[in-house]
Structures are given as structure tokens and as C-alpha cells.
């Protein structure tokens, strides 16, 4: 008996995707955060050919997902979110990976996007798709402030685009748009705030030696890094400085870095220790603008700054802030100039031309290389006369 051509192709896709057929159905493996997790379906999602970008296609894909048992995948994702205490951004990365296994992105982009929308709405978010004749943009309701990313108002709520990068960071509005919402009742707004990174096995980490000069001698700081973390933040949008600066280090990286720094800081005063950390963030990495490295504006988390060999002032300021907070837990203010970002720290005695904020004086600590070697409390002349804003202030013990 001759096996139909479409079935042969479908079976080949199953094998290439590592999908396992069992007596109970099918298992779809997904590599996520150092683990391989399996999503079970009673039947594979059958998409014979890519759908046209029409309302009827969305309804047909939804029905295929329901018939295959996708609501069970929602339960499995929810269990992983609870077990690993995933923030919304990492939960979405898991949704992306699961959707790509159910309907491959490179085979049917509409089907893949509808699957993400389907999973998000059943996880309790409020997603929306904006579809034209040749593209589909996925949005999610969010109250966060996000830059350089399309957003729109739907039913008086703000929705932020999640798949802008898939179109080369190019957005366009067409008169003939179809807006498909999720469910509005009992939904929660998506937040880009990251307050926790789940633990990952030590076998996922590699050593990295960071070198810089301090006090006319070469310093070496050896730390452990997980290079796969980059993948989870590749498309993370530009958020406000508070969100960026407060993304935590992973446990393994934090332990290795903070332990190494504390060893170097033994016998130093707080002033000397703050300056040492300032020199580390300033000279352990090459300077390069985001537009040169990524082709666009991108704010790195503190750990991403450690992962990449090149970074700019915002990235180094975030790392400096993170380390001062972890090691000394001193009050700080983040200084936002028209073309620069820096940090000032409240020391026992202010140094140089201190900056007044509230009832306190803060010492400028420049974590980015400048045309001259600046010591604690020193700034370039052009910054001393430039206007700036306090992006946010950190005061231990206060929200």
C-alpha cells in the first residue's frame, strides 16, 4: 500500500522535531532554562499547508489546537511557571518554545503566532492579534512603560507588541486590519519587570576571566557565566531604567562575582571599595554603542553586560548599581543626561562636586570610560554644566 505523500512529510517533521509517539499520544520536547520539558498532546496539530491571513484561518487553527489537546499544554506550562517562579517575560519565552513545537514558526508563521496567542490567553493574559493581508502582529495588554516598541490602544487599554523583531523591527499600519482579541474577563496585565531568575544547574556555566587596571596593577576577576541566558533576553524591549537596573544576577554568577570582589575588597574602606567596583565596570569591558553592536537601542541587564564583550554607559551603570547594592547596599541615584547615564552614591563623606538629592549629598561614580581617567567624585566638564534628571533613587529599606 502506498503511503500518502503528505503523511510521509508529516511523519518526517515529527522525527526531525524529536517528537515522541507514545500509547497516550505525543510528547513534544522543549529545551528551557537548562532542562528538557515535554508537552503532551493526544494528537499532533495537523496543518496541511500554511493558512491565508484571514479571520477564518484563525478559527480553523484554534480548532486544530483544541482537537489536538492544546488546553492540556496550558496546564503543563502553568505548572512550570509555578515551579520555576517565572516572571511574565520568561513565561512568554516558554510559550514561544512550546508554540514552535506545536506549529513550527518557519513552516507556518500565522499558525505559530495564533498558537502563542491561544496559549497566552488561556494562561490568563489578554493578548491581541492585529492581522493584515501579509502579516500578523502579536500584542499583549500591559501597563508598563516600554520604548522603541509598537504599542496601541484597544478598548481603552494599552497593548505592547511582542513580535516586532520578527519583522526586522519595522512596523507599518494598513487601513485593512483585523483585530482579534483574547478574553477580557479575569485577565492580568503582562509586566516586563524581572525580579527573579530561576536556578540553573552548575553544568550550564562556564568560566570567564575579566581583566582591568586599578592602582597601576592588572586585576583578574574570574566568574561563572551561562551564555544561554543571552537567548532569553535577545528580544527583551527597552524598558525604563528602574526595570533594567534591578534585573537580578543569576545565583551562580552572583555568587562567583560577589565572592571574587569581596576577596579583593578586604582591608579597603567603603570609599576605596566603591572606587574599585567603579574601575571594574569601567575597564573590564570594551565600550561600544548599541547601534554598532545590535543595530538598535538595547539596554542590557547587569548579567548581560558581563556576558557581552562590549557595552555602553547604560549597561555599565546597571552593573555598577547592581554590585554596589549587593555588596554595600548604599543609597544611590541614577543620573540621566541627554546623551549619558551615570550613578551617584551616598558615602559617609561626599567627594568632589556632590549632587544634592532630598536631604543628602551623593558622590558621582563614573562607570563608563571617558577621555580622561576620572577618580571618585570626578566628572567631565561638559557633564558638570549639563542638565540631568534623576531617573530613580535607591534607598535601602524603602520601596
| Strand locations in 135-236 (E) | 136-141, 146-147, 151-154, 157-161, 178-181, 206-214, 217-225
Q: How distant, in Å, are the alpha carbons of 209, 260, 270, 272 from that of 306? A: 10, 14, 23, 22
Number of helices (H) and strands (E) in the chain: give both, helices first.
Answer: 13, 19
Query: Long-range contacts: 222-225, Cβ < 8 Å, 24+?
Result: 222/256, 222/260, 223/253, 223/256, 223/257, 223/260, 223/306, 224/252, 224/253, 224/255, 224/256, 225/253, 225/303, 225/306, 225/307
Helix ranges (DSSP H) in the chain: 5-16, 55-68, 70-84, 88-102, 109-122, 229-233, 241-245, 251-265, 270-283, 290-293, 302-307, 313-327, 381-384
Crossing angle of helices 270-283 and 251-265, in 10° steps, is: 130
pLDDT in tens, 348-387: 999 999 999 999 999 999 999 999 999 999 999 999 999 9
CATH of domain 202-394: 3.10.620
* pLDDT averages per 10-residue partition of the chain, 399 residues: 39 54 80 92 82 91 94 96 97 97 93 97 96 93 94 94 92 77 83 93 89 94 94 95 96 96 97 98 95 92 96 97 98 97 97 95 97 94 94 88
Other CB atoms within a 10 A radius of the CB of residue 76 amount to 17
Helix ranges (DSSP H) in 145-228: none
Other CB atoms within a 10 A radius of the CB of residue 242 amount to 14
What order of strands is seen across the sheet that includes strand 25-32? 20-22, 25-32, 35-41
CATH 3.10.620 segments of the chain: 202-394
| N- to C-terminal Cα separation, the chain | 71
Take residue 147 and report the three cell numbers written for it.
520604548
Other CB atoms within a 10 A radius of the CB of residue 133 amount to 11
Residue 379: which of 348, 343, 349, 347 has the closest Cα? 343
**In the prediction, which pLDDT does 23 show?**
61
Q: Is 156 left (phi over 0), alpha (psi -120 to 50) or beta?
A: left
**In the prediction, which pLDDT does 200 show?**
85
**In the prediction, which pLDDT does 190 show?**
97
Rg (the chain; Cα; Å)? 24
3-state secondary structure (DSSP) of residue 267: coil
Give CA 226 to chain center in angstroms: 14
Rounded distance between C-alpha atoms, residue 28 and residue 31, angstroms: 10
Take residue 298 and report the three cell numbers written for it.
538595547
3-state secondary structure (DSSP) of residue 273: helix
Amino acid at each position: 500500500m502506498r503511503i500518502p505523500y503528505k503523511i510521509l512529510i508529516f511523519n518526517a517533521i515529527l522525527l526531525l522535531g524529536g517528537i515522541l509517539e507514545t500509547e497516550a499520544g505525543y510528547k513534544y520536547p522543549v529545551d528551557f532554562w537548562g532542562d528538557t520539558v515535554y508537552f503532551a498532546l493526544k494528537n499532533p496539530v495537523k496543518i496541511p499547508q500554511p493558512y491565508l491571513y484571514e479571520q477564518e484561518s484563525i478559527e480553523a487553527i484554534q480548532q486544530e489546537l483544541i482537537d489536538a489537546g492544546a488546553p492540556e499544554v496550558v496546564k503543563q506550562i502553568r505548572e512550570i511557571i509555578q515551579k520555576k517562579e517565572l516572571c511574565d517575560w520568561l513565561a512568554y519565552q516558554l510559550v514561544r518554545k512550546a508554540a514552535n513545537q506545536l506549529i513550527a514558526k518557519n513552516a507556518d508563521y500565522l499558525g505559530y503566532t495564533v498558537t502563542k496567542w491561544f496559549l497566552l490567553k488561556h494562561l490568563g493574559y489578554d493578548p491581541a492579534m492585529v492581522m493584515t493581508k501579509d502579516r500578523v502582529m502579536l500584542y499583549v495588554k500591559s501597563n508598563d512603560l516600554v520604548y522603541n516598541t509598537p504599542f496601541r490602544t484597544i478598548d481603552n487599554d494599552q497593548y505592547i507588541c511582542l513580535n516586532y523583531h520578527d519583522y526586522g523591527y519595522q512596523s507599518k499600519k494598513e487601513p485593512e486590519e483585523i483585530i482579534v482579541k483574547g478574553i477580557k474577563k479575569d485577565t492580568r496585565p503582562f509586566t516586563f519587570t524581572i525580579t527573579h531568575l530561576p536556578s540553573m544547574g552548575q553544568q550550564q556555566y562556564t568560566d570567564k576571566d575579566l581583566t582591568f587596571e586599578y592602582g597601576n596593577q592588572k586585576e583578574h576577576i574570574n566568574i561563572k557565566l551561562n551564555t544561554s541566558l543571552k537567548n532569553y533576553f535577545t528580544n527583551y524591549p527597552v524598558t525604563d531604567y528602574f526595570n533594567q537596573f534591578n534585573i537580578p544576577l543569576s545565583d551562580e554568577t552572583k555568587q562567583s562575582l560577589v565572592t571574587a570582589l569581596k576577596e579583593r575588597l578586604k582591608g579597603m574602606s567603603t570609599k576605596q571599595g566603591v572606587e574599585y567596583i567603579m574601575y571594574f565596570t569601567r575597564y573590564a569591558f570594551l565600550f561600544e554603542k548599541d547601534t554598532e553592536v545590535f543595530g538598535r537601542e538595547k539596554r542590557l541587564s547587569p548579567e548581560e553586560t558581563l556576558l557581552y564583550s562590549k557595552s555602553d554607559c547604560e549597561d555599565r551603570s546597571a552593573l555598577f548599581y547592581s554590585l554596589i547594592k549587593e555588596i554595600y547596599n548604599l543609597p544611590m541615584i541614577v543620573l540621566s543626561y541627554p546623551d549619558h547615564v551615570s550613578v551617584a552614591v551616598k558615602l559617609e563623606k561626599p567627594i568632589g562636586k556632590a549632587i544634592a538629592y532630598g536631604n543628602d549629598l551623593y558622590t558621582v561614580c563614573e562607570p563608563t570610560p571617558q577621555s580622561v581617567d576620572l577618580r571618585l567624585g570626578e566628572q567631565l566638564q561638559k557633564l558638570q554644566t549639563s542638565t540631568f534628571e534623576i531617573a530613580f533613587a535607591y534607598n535601602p529599606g524603602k520601596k
